[in-house]
Every structure is written in structure tokens, then in C-alpha cells.
Structure 1
């Protein structure tokens, strides 16, 4: 009789709601890009550049708060409501600190926009967008807290419902505010920022209401926490946040490299990035499921099942990456006209779609491998890999070849994307090898294998 846990079934069960949630979140940027592009290509470029500033801040906050997920999961498995209540109180304190810092950082970047963006019309739109979207940060941070509270306890329904509301409401508000319907003035790119801020608070209140029964059971009112405990929790999440933000900041740097090549190049680059991000959300979900499963079996002292979970997740990522490569190559160019009516922008988008197809497989593998390492509490290895691949290899060489034109006849955006694809391939090899070796090493640890 086979008593082994149904590994693939467990990962799929976790991945499906996470996929829906991730796709809803990623689609927010896609909606901004789509509607701003239909309004004017300069608004598209402005929203793209501003998004490359605000998104890293949101992701850093998410990474730091992510340390709560395994802790909530462990406490919930033990039915330790006291520990859950304490974690929630610590999370609230950290959420308040991160909200203030994130808001101030975005306002500072908004005032700096005219100095870092060469096209002053684009800079002005970006500045207004950042001023507006900064007000979304507190709502977003607390929404992340309640999301991770539910995610750690395995209750995905409130998060999925909130994600659906977030996408629908943001789409409607973008359509109204960007184009000026219902008697409102057309705000263009600024409308995207205002829509994001309004939608975030609506989603926060929705998630809080859906989580209220679970929150009430914790009796968390007026619970005091030590500053040192909150600080330690923040420091635990910092390596995750730094690794994520270094990767996103690398994409931000590439966006500013594209801005040197012209406003229409920026517009096409931003469309390609947003399309890639939406497709990328499914490997992110598989990665999160791998983290949960690998860490669960590791905590239960079942290293062989931990390894099976990791290998299963990598297999799923490989299959997904291969399928998406084929689909994007076949149908990718047909979506370019959705984002712009400018023939030159459409042509540039079509050329970049090929590179998106090229790196789907390796991108999926490197993301899931990083998730496995996090499940094994190996937080430093993904950080070092991201630092090396992006900031020592991709960024300097992309600037030299793609912007300055070293070793090529003429600098262009295709060279930057080709180098990005090569770098992601290298990252997939490094992280894939490291994750497999660490999983195998745990199987052969006597204290784990014989527990």
C-alpha cells in the first residue's frame, strides 16, 4: 500500500488559489499600462517609469512581511492562538513603520522625477502619478499583513475574493479616471495612480471584513509587544525583501536604460515587462507552494518528502515554462496592438515578445528553485545569486552594450533583452543546482533522515 503523500496534488492545491491571487495582482500593472497606452504613449512611458519606482518599494515591503507566513503557519498547526495574536500585533507595528517609510520614499522620488527623467512632459506625469500612488502604501501594507495572516493559516478564500475585487474595481476606476467618464476630467497617467490608491483601501476593508471572524478569535485587542521583537521579525524578513527588490531594481535600471533610447522604446519596454510579469505570476505561485511544502516536511523531519516536494515543484515549473514559450511564440505578436496605436511602438513590442518567450523556461526554474531554498531556510543563497547575476553581470554589460553600443554597430533595446535572457539562464542553473544539492544533503543528514 502506498502511504506516500500525494505531492503533486498538495502543490497544485496550494498553487491554484495562489496563482489566481498573483495574476489578479500582476494584472493591476497591466491594466494601468493598457489604459495609459490607449490614452497617449507619453502617459504610457510616464506610468511605466513611475511604476518602476513604486513597485520595488511595494515588493520590499512584501518581502519583509513575508517572514510572517511560516510563523503563522506553524502557530496555526499547533492551534496556538496566543502565538498568532502576538505575531499579528508584531505585524501591525512593522506595518505602521513600513507604511510611513514607504510613503515618504515615494514622495521623495516624486519630487526627484524632473531630475532623473529627461523628457520633462513624461517627468511631470510620472511625478503626479507618484504623488497619488504614495497614498496607497499604508493600505497596501496592512492588506499584505492580513493576506499573510490568512495565507499562513491556509485560508485562501478571503485573499482570492479580495484579489478579484482589486482587479475589477481598479479596472473600472482606471477606465473612468484616465479617460474622464461620468463627468470627471480626463487625468491620463495621474488617473492610474488615483485609481490604485482608492482601490487599495477598498480591498483592505474587504479583506479585513472577510478575516474578521478569524481575527476576533485571537482576542488581539490592545496587545503590547516589545520593540526588540518587532525589530527581530523585520530583520528576519529583510533578506527576502532585499533579494526581491534587487531583482526588481535591476528591471527598473533596465527601464531607465531604455529611456535613453527614446520615449517610444520606453513604452514598448514597459509593455513587454508587464506581459512578462503576468506570465511570471504562475511560477511565483508554484514557488510559494514549494516554500510551504518543503518547510512543512522539513519541520516534520521528513527530508525525503521535502525533496519530493521540491522536485515536483521544479518539474511543474519546467512544464509550465515550456508550454508558455510555445504559446508566446505562436500568439505573442497578436497582442501588441492592444497596448498602443503607434506603429513604431507596436513593432518594438512585437520584437521584444520573442525575448519574453525565450526566457520563460529558465525564469520559471530560477523562481521555484529560490522558493525551495527559502523553504530550507537558505535565505542568503538566493540573495547572493540575484546580486551576482543582475548587478555584476546583466546591468553593467547591458549598459555597456545596450546603451553605449560597445561591441555592436548600434545600441538598441533588443541587446538589453538578450542579455537579460542570458543572465536568467545563468541564475536558473545556479539556483536549480543549489536547491537540488541542499534537498539531497538534507536527506542524508542522520538527524533528519532517522528522526
Structure 2
């Protein structure tokens, strides 16, 4: 990345960083979408098994992968401060942490997976598919976590289109592997939903190998000589990665897991209500990729400017990103409001479920503005390496304000199941307000230091 001297220059550089991240996130979202869709084409039981397996895996993965996102602001600030010689050591220590985390997940899963699945009121065959799906997936966890470190390094340099290309290459391969292994094509056995787990594991190995090759052979990455020497374990660097990363990971976990918790609480309602809730939530998650991507881009550009101690530029980037998020999400929210029924019809054909989904999508419209603020602001705060207070704010917003208020509205008012969605909106709004105040205070403090 380069220093910019005008708003126009910042818009251009921010767009250069943002667009590939957005395409990458949509590509990763599409992988999960095709896993679910293609498993459902095989059988309803396989769909249920993959859905349960995914619901257990996704919050854990997003939370732990969030820890590795600390590599992005650390490297961005090192590059901004012209300390490129420290980058390879940092990245390799991140790889060590990633491998240890991945192996720990596999080990813990070996002991707790059966008790968790046995505690669920599901059919034996659904339980078997869910377990086998996760076991198959586990063979790709180590390369997946290593890829996340390398992606954070690549993105920190502002070259986010490389991550985009790797993801876009892997998406059709993942679909092909799904086709071969779920349905038993080209001489492979028909594994059903379990095949989706095998396909994902193979894809994770491929994207890790491609990333290692790119970092080792391609400019400008090869100039950092990431893999040119063997570094010993340095717990001091591990501490820096984890001190920044753990709050990031838990912040993401608190946000993603609250949606899983609401889905669990709504299991007391009818199948039609649950299906409508899931459809609306899936589409809301799709739209969330935009503010999430803006937040990830802000971590890079803000971290770069903070590392160079150009605090005024960091502030301009921060609020530019929030503005882009608000404008984009407002436009999409208006479009969604008027096209709720066509969107609902993509997911289901049952008129009753479509009607309920349309109602849930109304609340998804209200999600947009809060998400448009809180996700970019969180990304900017990570660029400042301000993560501990952010962790507390997200915990309180989602789990102390959002979920309890939703439970009270659902169980003690006529809103019923819609109460949970109002609770989610309340939590997201509380997060947007408190995190914005935190960002403003940090920037004010830095402004005083300059004067």
C-alpha cells in the first residue's frame, strides 16, 4: 500500500483493498451454501446432518479464525512503520499458533463430539451423518488455519485480490468435489452429506498449498522470505498474537453464536416457523458480508496508517468506511423491503412458509443499519489494535442486552418468535452505538497526542 494525500486517493486505495475482500467473503459464503444445498439434493436426512454439523463447526471456526486475524493489524503496522524485516518472523509464529490451535480443536472434538450429539434429540442416522461430516472435515482443519494466517499476511499488504483469486479458484473445485463425493460420480462412492465434509477437507488442503506457493514464489511476497529459514518458537510473539487475537476471536464468537443460540431457542416453535427463520437469517447473513468486508478492509488501511503514525489519515479512513457501509446497507435495505416476497420464494415454495419468511425479512431490513455501523467500526478498532474494550462491549451488547431482551419479548409479549429478532436488533444497535463512541474517544486521544 502507499501513502495517500487526498480523499480521492483514499477512496481509490480503499476500494482496491475492499472489493477483493468482498468477493472473497461471498465466495467463502457460497462454499457453505453449496454444501447445504447439494446435501439437501441427496436426502433430507443428509441435509439435517450437515446442517447440525455446520451449526456446531461454524461458530467455533469463526471465533478461532478470528484469533488469527490479529496477524493483519500486526503486519500492517510493521509495514507502515517500515519494519519489514520483522514480518517473516511474525508470520511464522502465527503459523505455529495456527497449527497448535487446529490440533487442539481435533483433540477436544475427539472427547466432546459424541456427548454433544448424544444430548440432542435427533434421529440416529442424522447423528451419524453429523459426526461423520465433522470427522471428515477435521482432516482439513490444520491447513485451513494455516491458510488463514497466510491470507491475513497477504491482506495486510493490501493485495487482497490474491486472496480473492485463491478463493474463486477453490469454489468450483469444492463444488466439483461435492458432486463427486456426495452423489458418487466418476467412480467415487456416494457418501451423501459426509461427502461434503471430505470435499471441504480436500479444498482446505488445496487453498493452503496454493497460498504457500504464492507467498514463496510471487512478488512482492517472496521478498519477505517467509519460508527461507526455520524460526524457533517465540512465546513472546505468541503472546502478542494472542493478546490481540483472543479478544478479536471472542468478539466474533459472541456475535456469531448469538444467532445459533436464537435458532436453538426457536426450536420450540413449528417446523414452518423454524424454516422461515432459517431462510431469512441465511439471507441476512449474505447481506452481512458487505459490512463485514468493509470492516476487514478498514483493519488493513487503518493499521497501515496507525503504524506510520498518520493518525489523521487513519481517522479519515475509519469514517469513510462507516459511511460506505451505511449508504450501501441503506440502499440494500430499501431494495429488500420491496422485494421480500421474491427473496423468500428463492428458499421455499410453501405459501405459509413464504408468508412467514417475508415477515422475518422485514426485521432483516432493520438489521442492515446497525450492521452497517458496528462491523466497520469493529474493523477500524482492530486496526488501532484496540480489542479488549471491544470484547467487553460486544459481550454486553449481544449476550447481556440482545439475547435476554429477545427472550423476554418472545415469552412475555404477543410478539412471540419475532421477539427474538427484535432482541437481536437491540443488541446490534447497542453494539453500534457503544463501539462508535469507543472509536471516537481513541481518535480524540490520539489527536491530543499530536498537539
- Tell me, yes or no, whether TM beats 0.5: yes
The 5 A counterparts of 1:98-113 are 98-113=101-116
Q: 2:35 is matched with which residue?
A: 32
Query: Does residue 296 of the first structure (1) align with residue 340 of the second (2)?
Result: no
* 1:85 Cα offset (Å): 2.0
CA distance in structure 2 between the partners assigned to 1:289 and 1:336 by the alignment: 31
* 1:415 Cα offset (Å): 2.5
Q: 2:414 is matched with which residue?
A: 408
Match of 2:129 among 125, 128, 141: 125
Q: 2:281 is matched with which residue?
A: 273
Match of 1:239 among 247, 251, 255: 247
* 1:100 Cα offset (Å): 0.6
Give the stretch that moved more between structures: 204-213 or 346-355: 346-355
Q: 1:102 to 1:74 in 2, by over 3 A?
A: same
User: Does the Cα contact within 8 Å between 2:81 and 2:307 map onto a contact in 1?
Assistant: no
Query: Does residue 387 of the first structure (1) align with residue 395 of the second (2)?
Result: yes
Match of 2:291 among 277, 283, 288: 283
C-alpha RMSD of matched pairs (Å): 2.6
Query: Does residue 18 of the first structure (1) align with residue 21 of the second (2)?
Result: yes
Please list the CA deviations of residues 89-130 of structure 1 after superposition, one character each: whole Å capped at 9, or x if unmatched.
Answer: 211210111111122344445313433322225433322222
Q: 1:377 is matched with which residue?
A: 385
Q: 1:398 to 1:113 in 2, by over 3 A?
A: same
User: Does the Cα contact within 8 Å between 1:41 and 1:340 map onto a contact in 2?
Assistant: no
User: Does the Cα contact within 8 Å between 1:46 and 1:189 map onto a contact in 2?
Assistant: yes
CA distance in structure 2 between the partners assigned to 1:270 and 1:206 by the alignment: 34
Please list the CA deviations of residues 77-97 of structure 1 after superposition, one character each: whole Å capped at 9, or x if unmatched.
Answer: 566554122112211210111
User: Does the Cα contact within 8 Å between 1:298 and 1:376 map onto a contact in 2?
Assistant: yes
Match of 1:430 among 427, 434, 437: 434
* 1:158 Cα offset (Å): 2.7
Give the stretch that moved more between structures: 242-251 or 211-220: 211-220
CA distance in structure 1 between the partners assigned to 2:398 and 2:126 by the alignment: 27
SS in 2 for 1:225: coil
Q: 1:151 is matched with which residue?
A: 155
SS in 1 for 2:320: helix
The 5 A counterparts of 1:274-353 are 274-340=282-348, 345-353=353-361
SS in 2 for 1:222: coil
Match of 2:53 among 50, 59, 66: 50
Q: 1:107 to 1:320 in 2, by over 3 A?
A: farther
Q: 1:294 to 1:76 in 2, by over 3 A?
A: closer
CA distance in structure 2 between the partners assigned to 1:73 and 1:381 by the alignment: 21
User: Does the Cα contact within 8 Å between 1:68 and 1:149 map onto a contact in 2?
Assistant: yes
Q: 1:217 to 1:300 in 2, by over 3 A?
A: closer
* 1:303 Cα offset (Å): 2.7
Query: Where in structure 2 are there 5+ consecutive unaligned residues?
Result: none
User: Does the Cα contact within 8 Å between 1:48 and 1:267 map onto a contact in 2?
Assistant: no
Q: 1:348 to 1:100 in 2, by over 3 A?
A: farther
User: Does the Cα contact within 8 Å between 1:114 and 1:124 map onto a contact in 2?
Assistant: no
Query: Does residue 84 of the first structure (1) align with residue 87 of the second (2)?
Result: yes
Query: Does residue 255 of the first structure (1) align with residue 268 of the second (2)?
Result: no
Q: 1:347 to 1:177 in 2, by over 3 A?
A: farther
Please list the CA deviations of residues 223-273 of structure 1 after superposition, one character each: whole Å capped at 9, or x if unmatched.
Answer: 213234324422331111111111112122112112333555444433333
Please list the CA deviations of residues 412-450 of structure 1 after superposition, one character each: whole Å capped at 9, or x if unmatched.
Answer: 3x332232123212222222233234323432x1x32x4
Query: Where in structure 1 are there 5+ consecutive unaligned residues?
Result: none
Q: 2:98 is matched with which residue?
A: 95
Task: State the aligned residue count.
Answer: 442
Taking structure 1 as the reference length, the TM-score comes to: 0.89
